[in-house]
Structures are given as C-alpha cells and as structure tokens.
C-alpha cells in the first residue's frame, strides 16, 4: 500500500509543478557562487581538459547537424514506404505502426552524437570535480548496493531497475553511495515506475537505536494506510517539517535525538533544492541498524550539466553541481554530529543520575 501511496504522491506533486512551476512556492537560491576551493580546482584540473572537450563537442555537434540534414532530405525514402505499408494493412483491418519505429530510429540517429558528448563530458569532468569534496569514486553506470537495502521499508518492491551516476566514498568514517535510480514493477500488461530519482545509502560505524522512518505526509487517511504496526508516530517541534513529513519510530526518544533541529532543517533544505533543481517530488529517509537510506524522488536529470549547443568553456552550471553535492555531503556530516551529541548527552544524564 505504501508503494501505491508513494507513486500517487509523486504523480500529484509533478502535476502541480507542471501547472505552477513549484509545489510549495518557496524560493531556493540556485545562483550561489562557486567556493574558493572549487574555483581553484577548476583552474588547476578542469580548464586543461576543456580544449579537447570543446573539440569533441564541435565534432559531435557537426555530426548531429549532418544527421539531421540527411533525415530532412532523404528520410522520406524510409518513412513513406513504411506509411504506405501501414495504410495497406489498415485498409485490410489490421493495425501496423512501422512508420513510428522508422521515425523513432531517425530521431535516435539524430540525437546519438549528443548522447555521446554527454557521456564523454561526465567521464572527463565528474571524477575531477569530486576532488573538491573528498576521495570519492565515480562510475557512470554504477549502482548502490541495492541488495543490502532491499528489505528496508522505504525501498519499494520492483522487478527491474536502471541506474547511472554512481558516487561512492567516505566522510568522517561514514561510507556512502549515491546513484540515480529508476525502479519498475511489472504488471499484467505493462510495467509501472515505482521510483525515479536519487538514492543515498550510508553505512555508519555504530548501531542506530530502534527503527525510524521519515516519509512524505499523505494526510490522515493516507498515513493510516502507510503506517507500520511496529512503529508509532513521532511528534516533532518543527511545524514546517511536520507539515511536509510523517515520522514514525520504534524508539520515540532516540528518533528525536536523531531528527534534531539541525537535521530537520537539512532534510527540508535538501528537499527544497531537489524540487527546484530537478523537478523533485519529495524524499523519504530510513534509519535502521547501521544503515541510513534516502530515496529522493525527482523527474529531472540532476548531474547532467552538458549541453552540446553550449561551449564546453561555459561553466555556468557548475555552481549548481557544487551546491547539490555539498548538500548531500553536509547531511552526512550532520548525521555524524547529531549522533555524537546524543551520545554525549546520554552519558551526562547517566553520570548525573
């Protein structure tokens, strides 16, 4: 039932955003300038890569234009016979759509050089840009260890998956993975997308008490269906957070330590950023054992900053990329800080008693 509610909520928010441009009408500053560290990295490591990258872009742009010209001039040689073939079958009572396959093939042929450029852009720049944040590894087609978190409540059941932009590393003894993920569940006649967005997995060097889940607020009726019998609702003192999220836990006291005011503000800011930057439609977060799973739903392509029509020397989109990566790494750091604060407070309470 929770999978259905998640999909329904995601679709509803997407429709609102298409209508008014933003689900919650909040301004998120996406024009933050580059940090000094990021600027230094660009000067030392990125700019030397731009000349060959620009040459590759111009080559692929010329190929794309040439392919488009061939389609406009000679495409009728393919689609006209396909159209006649379909009409003949339609006259006999059968339905054929071979003309659509021909059109799709032509479209792919036109945009294939652009796809090659986007892939090459990521392969060259992403590993370099990540140096500003730590010793992180980047794999274009990698995926999180999904088997390790498959049993968690926040992870929807699925029958197939696709993934890209895998980032892995360690921040203050916390191992983390991120990737863009699409999950589908096969039905009787077709497949349904049950999740599309980014997934973050944290493996922390300590055990989290209880089992805490932060999910989207579906309203009283929806929350009742989505609730787990083992967890109880947690009341928090942040009205903005309470309005947007529903929190349940098997350990009420520890969940409040975990979701400190600073942590709640970071989750709200992360949600705001993804809504503004990637057509986001909400996030869920789960804390259990030594794992933390964040499922951030969005419809855009978060880390796709390449544009074949824009010079590779134009780095206007890099501040957004830095901001997105900084938000994720900042959340990981805050989790570590909050845990230490809660532990120290518990030790002081024990000493005072």
Q: Which class for 224: exposed (0-12), middle (13-18), buried (19 or more C-beta within 10 A)?
A: exposed
pLDDT reported for residue 353: 60
CA distances from 279 to 15, 21, 65, 160 (A): 11, 9, 30, 23
Give the residue from 127, 174, 129 showing the smallest Cα distance to 294.
174
Specify whether the CB–CB gap between 125 and 141 falls below 8 A: no
How many angstroms separate the CA atoms of 26 and 254, rounded?
31
Specify whether the CB–CB gap between 229 and 206 falls below 8 A: no
pLDDT reported for residue 183: 93
**What stretches in the chain show pLDDT beneath 70?**
1-33, 79, 86, 89-96, 217-230, 302, 317, 319-320, 340, 343-348, 350-353
Residue 40: both structure tokens together: 């230094």
- What is the three-class DSSP state of 103? helix
Q: Which residue has the tokens 């989207």?
A: 216
Residue 149: both structure tokens together: 């978190």
pLDDT reported for residue 89: 65
Residue 80: both structure tokens together: 């006209």
pLDDT reported for residue 223: 41
Specify whether the CB–CB gap between 211 and 250 falls below 8 A: yes
How many angstroms separate the CA atoms of 131 and 46, rounded?
11
The reported pTM is 0.75
How many angstroms separate the CA atoms of 318 and 263, rounded?
26
Q: What value does the mean pLDDT of the chain take?
A: 79
How many angstroms separate the CA atoms of 342 and 151, rounded?
27
Q: What's the count of helices (H) and strands (E) in the chain, helices before strands?
A: 11, 7
Specify whether the CB–CB gap between 321 and 35 falls below 8 A: no
66: Cβ contacts below 8 Å, ≥ 6 apart: none
Specify whether the CB–CB gap between 308 and 60 falls below 8 A: yes
How many angstroms separate the CA atoms of 34 and 24, rounded?
27
pLDDT reported for residue 67: 92
């Amino acid at each position: 039932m929770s999978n259905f509610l998640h999909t329904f909520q995601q679709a509803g928010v997407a429709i609102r955003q298409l209508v008014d441009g933003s689900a919650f009408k909040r301004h998120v500053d996406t024009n933050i300038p580059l940090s000094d560290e990021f600027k230094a990295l660009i000067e030392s490591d990125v700019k030397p890569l731009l000349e060959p990258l620009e040459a590759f872009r111009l080559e692929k742009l010329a190929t794309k234009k040439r392919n488009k010209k061939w389609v406009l001039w000679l495409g009728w040689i393919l689609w006209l016979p396909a159209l006649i073939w379909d009409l003949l079958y339609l006259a006999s009572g059968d339905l054929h759509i071979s003309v659509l396959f021909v059109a799709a093939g032509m479209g792919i042929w036109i945009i294939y050089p652009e796809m090659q450029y986007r892939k090459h852009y990521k392969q060259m720049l992403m590993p370099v840009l990540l140096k500003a944040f730590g010793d992180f590894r980047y794999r274009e087609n990698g995926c999180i260890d999904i088997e390790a978190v498959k049993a968690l409540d926040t992870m929807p059941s699925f029958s197939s998956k696709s993934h890209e932009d895998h980032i892995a590393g360690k921040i203050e003894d916390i191992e983390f993975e991120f990737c863009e993920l699409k999950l589908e569940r096969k039905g009787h006649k077709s497949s349904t997308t049950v999740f599309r967005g980014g997934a973050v997995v944290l493996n922390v060097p300590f055990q989290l008490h209880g089992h805490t889940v932060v999910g989207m607020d579906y309203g009283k009726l929806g929350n009742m269906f989505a609730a787990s019998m083992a967890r109880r609702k947690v009341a928090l003192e942040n009205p903005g957070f309470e309005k947007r999220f529903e929190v349940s836990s098997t350990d009420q006291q520890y969940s409040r330590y975990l979701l400190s005011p600073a942590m709640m503000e970071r989750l709200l800011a992360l949600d705001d950023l993804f809504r503004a930057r990637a057509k986001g439609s909400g996030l869920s977060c789960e804390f259990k054992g030594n794992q933390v799973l964040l499922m951030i739903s969005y419809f855009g392509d978060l880390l796709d900053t390449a544009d074949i029509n824009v010079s590779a020397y134009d780095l206007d989109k890099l501040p957004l990329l830095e901001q997105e990566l900084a938000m994720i790494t900042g959340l990981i750091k805050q989790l570590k800080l909050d845990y230490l604060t809660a532990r120290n407070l518990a030790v002081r309470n024990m000493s005072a008693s």
